[in-house]
Structures are given as C-alpha cells and as structure tokens.
Amino acid sequence: MNALSKDMSGPLALFANRLNTLTGAQRQSAAGALARTGLPDRKSEAWKYTALRALGKQDYLQAPAQVDEAAVRALLDGVFQAHPAMAALPRVVFVNGRHAPAFSVAPDDVDLSFFGQNAEFGLQAAPDRDPLVALNTALAEDGLVLRVPAGEDAGHLMLISLGVAQEQPVSFHPRHTVVVEKDAHLRLISVQAGQGTYFHNPVMDIRVEDGATLEHVTLQTEGAQAISLGTLYAHVGHKSVYDSFVLGLGGQLVRHEVHARLASPRGVVHVNGAQRLAGQQVGDITSVITHAASDCISRQTVRNVLDGHARGVFQGKVLVEQVAQKTDGYQMNQALLLSPDAEIDAKPELEIYADDVRCSHGATVGALDDDQLFYLRSRGIPVQEARQMLIDAFLDEAIALVVDATAQTFCRAVMAARFAQKGEA
C-alpha cells in the first residue's frame, strides 16, 4: 500500500486495496482526488438529499471474471419477458461491468469497440469534481465504445448491463463512450437489471455532433439489493438533439446524474424521466443542463410515484451562460405520494447570466385526487383498480415524452409487468 491508504475512510475504505495498487497517470490522479475528497456525504450540496450510508454496510469485492451463465440467461430472459419483440433488436450485453459477447448480438452500421485497461478516458468527465466519476476512472475495466458514422441512421441498439452477485457483494465500474457523428441518428435503449447485492457505478460519455440526433432511453430495473450511481455527460453540437428519458423502478439506492452541455447554437436537450418506487427505495434524478451557446432549447419533466417509505429526489439545474442569448429552458418536477411515509425532495434551479431568455421551473406534490377516485368508484370500478388507473394516467404523461414508439412501448410493458408481479397498486 502507498500513502493514499491513510486518507481513505468510510465507504471509500472498501476500495482502498484496489485504489492503492493502480498504474497509469489518469487512474492514479483519480485515486489521489478521491483520497483528498472522499466519497460525497450530505455536507456536499449536490448530495444533500442522498446519503451513501448504505454503501458502507457491505464489503464490495471486485467482480469475478467468471459468472453463472444460467443466472445471466435467466436475467436476460427477464429483460425481454414483458415485451418479447425487443429480443430481436441488436444488443451489447455487459455482465458485472464486462462485455459478454456470448449474450450479445452485434449491430450493423456502427463502429463498435471496447474500453480496455490502457484506454484513454473521455475529456468531458471531471474526476476532480465528481467523486463517483473519480472512482470509476480509477477502477474501470471495460465498457462500450460506440461510434455512429456521419450521415448514418443506425436504428436501434440495446445496451444491457446485468449485475450478478451470488456468494459475495461485488462492485463494477463500466466506462461507456457514445459518439454520434455529423447528421447521424441512433436510438439507444439502456437497460440495467440484476440479482443479489452489488454496486454498479457506470459513467457514460456522449457526444452528439452537428446535425445529429441521439434518442436515449434508460430503463432501470436493478436488483432489490443493488446500489446504482450512474453519471452521464452529454456534449450537444450545432443543430443537434440529445433526447433522453430514464424510467427508475429498481434498486435500493439509485442515482441517475446527467450533465448536458449545449455547446453550439440551436441545439436541443431533453432530460425527462419517471420514478415508481416503494418500500425503502431511494431514487435520485439529478441534472445540470448548461446553455453555453445561443438559440438553444432544453426541456425537463420528471414525475415520481412513491409508496411505502420510499423517497424520491429531484435536483435540476439550468445554467445559462452570458453568451447564451435567446435560451428557451423549461423544467418541471411532479410527485404523487401514495403513503404518508413517502417523501420527495425537490430542488429545481435556474442560474442565468444572459438577459434575453425564456426560462421557467416548478414543482408540485400531492396525493391521489379523492374526487377522481370517487368518480371511478361510482362507476363500479373497484378501489385498487381505480387507484391503479389514476397512477397509470399520471405516469403515462411522462412516458409519452419518449419519442421512439418501440422504447415507449417497452417502458410501459416493463412497468406494468413489474407491479403486476408485486400485486401493488
């Protein structure tokens, strides 16, 4: 061990052995940043509402290279069970953060490679600022490197990340890069699922070049004991579109953090989402959308349905730099609380340095409408079915923001199947 170990305490101490044996300047630099800052706690403004205490309750080992193929196959079958037609799409599968070619179906019309031990890291990620990104930078072993050639419509691609922890809790830190070149188009569907106790810490570096479009849907159905803390960076070029949506359903503690930068005029960013949580789940959607050029548009609508003792977090910041005149930014977070013990923490923010802008934000919190419930029951609809109709209608307005019909149908099918199995309203 080197001198870094004495500075690592709390949850970070779980990774000290690996962090103190790193080679490579970028990895060692990231480990040094972690030693200085530690993993975030509630004293950090960005993590004020989301504590990482659960991360310190397990000793997460490095995920083994060998996994139970039957368990992987069962998980993969579970991904497609709600909507079998998705199995026909090309897919790249990762198991415990490593590419699993035996379960993948290679796509056409894209350049596909993989992150290696000596690969260069993307320039957008900021290990000195974001401790979870620093941890990923230090420990990343594999990841997707995808490039869509200029002018190409690459259709659909599924990126499936499976966590399989059997005897011991494991951690894995995949590093993905997606580049959609000039005037190209890609519909990317990311799926996160798993079983057992594991810590999934992915980082995705996205670049949407001039005139290109990336439609990106993330379907998060992590295992019940999983912790998943994902960070995504998106650079959006001239007249390009990054249209994203996240549906959060699984995990015990999950955070989906997006940093999107509108770097050239007339770019468009959508960072929409929905969370349906119950029990003791904690789900956090955090975003920072930076308008760094004129005539750009950003939209963010997030809806939460929370039951039991579940807690949802929404932190959305729109930063408008002085050069970004004629910015059009909109942000809305809405929560439906089904239990007196459920909680939502919402912090929408606008930080504006330009003077010719149109920006707004808002947040609402409420319970099921008694009048609407009474109306449905007066028509002979049983109370549980009436409750479910109102919940579905509330979430459906968010899911309707998914532009791609295939991904939209998939989201609806998975959510319906998940809660039908649990027998919850």
Q: Helix/strand/coil (H, E, C) string of the chain?
A: CCHHHHHCCHHHHHHHHHHCCCCCHHHHHHHHHHHHHCCCCCCCHHHCCCCCHHHHHCCCEECCCCCCHHHHHHHHHHHHHCCHHHHHCCEEEEECCEECHHHCECCCCCEEEECCCCCCCCCCCCCCCCHHHHHHHHHCCCCEEEEECCCCEEEEEEEEEEEECCCCCEEECCEEEEEECCCCEEEEEEEEEEECCEEECCEEEEEECCCCEEEEEEEEECCCCCEEEEEEEEEECCCCEEEEEEEECCCCEEEEEEEEEECCCCCEEEEEEEEEECCCCEEEEEEEEEECCCCCEEEEEEEEEECCCCEEEEEEEEEECCCCCCEEEEEEEEEEECCCCCEEEEEEEEEECCCCEEEEEEEEEECCCHHHHHHHHHCCCCHHHHHHHHHHHHHHHHHCCCCCHHHHHHHHHHHHHHHHHHCCC
Q: What is the pLDDT of residue 123?
A: 61
Q: With pLDDT > 90 as the criterion, what percentage of the chain qualifies?
A: 78
Instruction: Assign 6 a pLDDT band (cuts: 50, 70, 90).
Output: very low
The domain limits of the chain are: 64-368, 369-425
Calculate mean pLDDT across residues 124-147: 88
Q: Which residue has the higher pLDDT, 138 or 2?
A: 138
d(CA 263, CA 296): 9
d(CA 136, CA 18): 12
Instruction: Assign 119 a pLDDT band (cuts: 50, 70, 90).
Output: low
Calculate mean pLDDT across residues 292-318: 97
Q: What is the pLDDT of residue 22?
A: 75
Residue pointed to by tokens 């957008």: 124
d(CA 301, CA 280): 24
* Whether the Cβ atoms of residue 30 and residue 134 lie closer than 8 Å to each other: yes
Calculate mean pLDDT across residues 155-175: 95
Residue pointed to by tokens 């190409």: 152
Calculate mean pLDDT across residues 330-341: 96
pLDDT-wise least confident of 39-53, 78-92, 249-263: 39-53
d(CA 332, CA 301): 5
Q: What is the pLDDT of residue 374?
A: 93
pLDDT of 408 higher than 80: yes
Instruction: Assign 31 a pLDDT band (cuts: 50, 70, 90).
Output: confident
Q: What is the pLDDT of residue 1?
A: 39
pLDDT-wise least confident of 90-104, 119-133, 202-216: 119-133
